[in-house]
Structure 1
Amino acid sequence: MTGRAAAAELDAAGITDTALRRDYACSRALHARHGRTYYLATRILPAGRRPGVHALYGFARWVDDMIDEPEPGQTTEHSAVLLDGVERDLDAALAGSRAQAPPVRALADTARRYSIPAEYFAAFMRSMRADLTVTDYADYAELSDYMYGSAAVIGLQVLPVLGTVVPRSEAAPHAAALGTAFQLTNFLRDLAEDLDRGRVYLPADVLARHGVDRGLLMRCRRTRVQDARVRRALADVVALNRAVYREAEPGCAMLSAVARPCVETALLLYRGILDEIEEADYDVWSRRHRVARSRRVRTAVPALARALAARGFSA
């Protein structure tokens, strides 16, 4: 994106303070670097709504990277200290004080503009802190508790930015489900990488039903060779993930007309990663699955046309 286009987004959002514009630019860069699929979908939104989404996603990626991409020699204790600092900065910013970190300043401004409850950010920070000590989850209920803070609340945070044509409370469960669905897809796709970090984000009871434990997963990771038991377990989790997408899908029609194509595109693209995993016979060891660029373009272009039509209609 050119600097002129980025500036136009901020102008459309009514963000005029020079320092705050730099903060939003930082969040947008984090979003573009880490969230290619969703960043592409965000391009379909009206310009004035994009900075808020960038701020929310950029903050989440920034904090997540503190845990998942630590500096060389960074200990768990040091990571905990970093999270303590973020929480203090976030609490102060949400209370009206000036934050120290650019992603926090952009987030706090977005939270004020759209009246996003502070409890969503507190839940997110709790899940990020869990990553310091929790390495697996006994069942889907345990995993869901974690995903509420790490993913469902992201859907709830973004909902006011997107806007709805129904009471927000009616759309909220679907928005939360979509955040959860996206993260489950990430967990399947990134199973090998998460193992390298010492974590398994798949329900242990589902794995155990197929005779899968951490040792077997580690062997698959080490050899990059699939095991039939792992294949069956992953197929079960993919089926669960598709059910969560079905739970989320009715929420698209509840969004404002100008935002609907963005979320529909993100849903189609992310669910497409499951297609890629299935087509590879659930091999998540030899490569990281992603939707091909050609498919992303084929999905995004019609959505952009729908979005432009909706903008003309709403004008």
Structure 2
Amino acid sequence: MSRIGYGAAQLPRLHDRRGEAVALVRRAIELGVDHLDTAEFYGFGFANHVIREVLRPDDDVLVVTKIGADPNPGGPLPLRTAQRPEQLRASVEDNLRSLGVDRLPVVNLRRLDTGPGVRPHGDQVVDLDDQLAAMTELRDEGKIGAIGLSSVTIDGLRRALPAGIACVQNAYSLVARDDEEMLRLCAAEGVAWVPFFPLGGAFPSMPKVTDEPAVHAVAGSLGVTPSQVGLAWLLQHAPNVLLIPGTADTAHLEANMAVSDIVFDDAARATLDAVESRSGNVPLG
């Protein structure tokens, strides 16, 4: 599998230009992307429908979906938490329908235990074991292939490992390395580490990789962009890192795919490793 995939979270920005959205995902595949990250709540199904239109039987592209939230058209936020076991099952069915498949290869359970974003309240506070039981049932039924976790704590990951965990998606970047111990645990257990917000800055509370003078210095010395440096650092930081940078722009897509060719010398690596990590894990509610 290529270490750089494509995350479809920004694809709905092209909602009124569907042809461009289709062309963008097609271009990603032409550039070597063989895994796509999506969710039913990305554009109220828009991302899934575009991916369904784009993919051909011979593309050999792994589609990774996530559940734990559902679309919420007209709400104060475009999504609502959906953490109860019956909601997880319903979300799997929604993704199956919009993607036009009878099996989802990998499904990430978005736990909302950590990282920037909303926190569950009321009946949305659900024990992890109950959720894993539902996910395991869905796997046994053949509706999902592998189970991943997102926004999970290290204690939650340890509890979940016996169920068989393929990947972990947490907010993580050069400037927000709170989960370093969890990354090492994933590497030891053969679990892929798939950082979201890999350049930080998605919320006001989060530092931005591209604000760092050290990142600009390394970028200038190599003739690449600060964003490329931030993504390349992730690839070179740990062998189990897979990237899913998202964009709605073809030029940015091509720049993201090019980061696999960037190589840091020892001095550049030391400069980047010395950048201070500052927590961005402030909940919105």
State the TM-score, normalized to the length of structure 1: 0.28
Structure showing greater radius of gyration is 1
State the TM-score, normalized to the length of structure 2: 0.30
Relative to total residues, which structure has the larger helix share, 1 or 2? 1
Relative to total residues, which structure has the larger strand share, 1 or 2? 2
